[in-house]
Structure 1
């Protein structure tokens, strides 16, 4: 099994869920994550929505999406990142899952409310609003991790 850094594991899984698992020799998990990502992406028509969003055609992005499929995406995506991170982290590291879990929660909420949210007359839509919701998820997760580690130093 190849050893990679925590950052490398997360970055490979940001590029495509399952890649760090494949690199580290966890082939079954890697193939599972790649397959799940592909199935969700195709059924949600997510790549088309991403393309329309980056072209500024938010209404088209919303119209092509299948939200029922896309709602699975944040949890699988963040779990894949955490799994890659966990493989690379030291055994004594605690609470590493919190930023990933709260990011998955917040991105999912951002996706659910995206059709209704407009910020300063700009409608970010189903791609950009969930990206923005990632930030509070990370902040909450890192804050809770810090609080728990400071209360239970080991």
Structure 2
């Protein structure tokens, strides 16, 4: 999906059209957009919305079943790609790390593969957009040169990357904390609660 986004968005010039629309240059936005590619982009968005809704409903049903059956939660998992253990995480720290560098918040909450992907994707976008040299030129006062060197088609990926990773890292930390609470509650009930105790 990310490769599809990159190819279709790049060829349709959607990011440039968004930038011109935000600047109030609507005629320029209409001129820059490539309609043949844009219609493919619409199809991707419709599919993404439908698939996320369908997937969320299915996951919610699985959660309800697991919760009702009081299914066991494995507090420690070792796989070939990583090791994972349940431990509380600070959601604000996850968001702050994602703000510093997209992907660090995911690494903090042990979402290793998405974390590596977002670090890599951010490096690619920063490189092709010339964002960091533009920041350097801005800091020394070369504002016109900084504006000319930036590739806005690539730079416009950054708001969506930052918005998503900050939100996703925060939500992941919150959900992991809920899972830790459930696992600890089940462990204490199974191992330390008297069998004749009546729940109030």
**Common fold, TM-score beyond 0.5?**
yes
Does residue 4 (structure 1) correspond to residue 89 (structure 2)? The answer is yes
Q: Tell me which of 60, 75, 82 is aligned to 2:145.
A: 60
Q: Contact 2:109–2:173 (CA<8 Å) still a contact in 1? A: no
Q: Which of residues 50, 65, 80 is equivalent to 2:165?
A: 80
| Counterpart among 12, 17, 35 of residue 120 in structure 2 | 35
Q: 2-side partners of 1:67 and 1:85: how far apart? A: 28
Residue equivalent to 1:119: none
Match of 2:110 among 25, 31, 54: 25
- Matched residues, number: 91
2-structure distance, mates of 1:6, 1:73 = 21
Candidates 174, 182, 190, aligned match of 1:89: 174
Query: Distance between the aligned counterparts of 1:3 and 1:61, measured in 2?
Result: 42
Name which of 99, 106, 109 aligns with 1:14: 99
Distance 1:90 1:25, change over 3 A: closer
Deviation, structure 1 residue 72: 0.8
Alpha-carbon distance, 1:90 to partner: 5.5
Distance 2:165 2:99 in 1: 9
2:102 is paired with a residue whose SS is coil
* C-alpha separation in 2, matches of 1:74 and 1:31: 19
3-state SS in 1 of match to 2:165 = helix
Larger radius of gyration: 2
In 2: Cα distance, 1:23 partner to 1:82 partner: 14
Q: CA deviation at 1:58?
A: 1.0
Equivalent residues in 2 for 1:74-153 (5 A)? 74-89=159-174
What is the TM-score when the length of structure 2 is the normalising length?
A: 0.43
Deviation at 1:3, TM superposition (A): 3.2
